[in-house]
Amino acid sequence: MKIGYSFWGFLGNGVTDTPDGGRSHRRPFIDALLDRGHDIVFLQADRDRLAAGDDLGSNYIFDGGFPNIDVLFLEWRWAIPGRNTTACGTEGHTCDLHRQAQLINHYTVRHQTPTVIWDKDRTLRAESVWRTTSHTRVCEAALAPTHGAHSLLFPVAEILLTQADPVALAAQRRDLVLGYVGNQYDRDEPFDRFFAPAAARVAHLVAGKWTETDRWPHVHFLGRIPFEAAAGVYGRSLATVLMLPERYAAVGQMTQRIFEAVLAGCLPLAPADIRYVNRFVPDELVVRSGRDVIERLSHLREIAGTQRHADLIAACVDRLRLFGLSKQVDTLESLLHGLVRPGTTERGAA
């Protein structure tokens, strides 16, 4: 199939001043679709080239018009006041929302092109017409998605799981007890409950965009770091805390931070109120309070470098198979084949 793919972010390392978490999984996901014989054309601006000066070896096709396609695939964009809701050309404006509206109007509405919406941030309204339109499907990166939506998790390449060496990762020297890479957005409550109390006791580091930090004067906030530097922070850290916005935790939506951490040998402590938490981490890493975090970190420091430490890393790696790339591509292909039946599409002709 020819897939028109809309995303606002990067395929490569991009630039530092951006919240695009999709860089952890977007390119492997797209490459896997290409490997299965699909054609892909990207329908938003080529930010890798325009913002980061990276043409990615000219391996991908971008089109600012309305090319012929079989299906429209949207990484869903939402209104961000002062950014993509302003007039085109004004300072600070990004055109992702305007372009998405153009694509929907042209393909989904006018030409009835089969459309898949990946609501990665859970911002699509529950009453959205796209949840009930016959030629559209909604996917969410959750184990318990909204009624009628399909589960499409953030993927991790299976080869990375195969290559992970728990013994070597456990033996690695780590100068931080606790590390976190990610932005503040809607995470104040779990940060207060789980991370901040432990940060008062152990060597730690927080990397990412945290703009309101006065209530935690004891926490070392590093600020945003380049995308590729995240592995270095996790590689220095014995453990992290998986802090999710409530709208993610309630439906079992785990972010890409879990496989970024685990593949660097950083053990993820997971709050017990995350739905299906035991599918993400072993019982030994489930926490219910800041005191729990402090006690678990003390235990992890005692076993650091031992076979028990390696076994815990291995158990975490094994749980990452839930996010396996081939499984997620299978899910999407099944949806596509249900939407695009041979001989029934007009390829979104302009």
pLDDT at 46 over 50: yes
* Token pair for 162: 């195969």
For residue 349, the model assigns a pLDDT of 46
Q: Which residue has the higher pLDDT, 79 or 244?
A: 244
Instruction: Give the chain's domains with CATH numbers.
Output: 2-155+325-339 (3.40.50), 158-323 (3.40.50.2000)
For residue 20, the model assigns a pLDDT of 80
Angstrom distance (rounded) from CA 246 to CA 98: 28
Mean pLDDT of 160-171: 98
| Burial status of residue 317 (CB atoms within 10 A of its CB: 0-12, 13-18, 19 or more) | buried
Considering the chain, what is the average pLDDT of its residues?
A: 94
For residue 345, the model assigns a pLDDT of 47
* Token pair for 236: 């220095």
pLDDT at 350 over 50: no
For residue 92, the model assigns a pLDDT of 86
For residue 21, the model assigns a pLDDT of 82
Strand partners, 6: 74
- Give pLDDT tens digits for 277-306: 999 999 999 999 999 999 999 999 999 999
For residue 15, the model assigns a pLDDT of 87
Give the contacts of 272 (CB within 8 A, at least 6 positions apart).
286, 287, 288
- Give pLDDT tens digits for 56-73: 888 899 999 999 999 999
Name the H helices within 36-136.
47-50, 96-103
For residue 57, the model assigns a pLDDT of 81
Q: Does pTM surpass 0.85?
A: yes
For residue 342, the model assigns a pLDDT of 59
For residue 346, the model assigns a pLDDT of 47
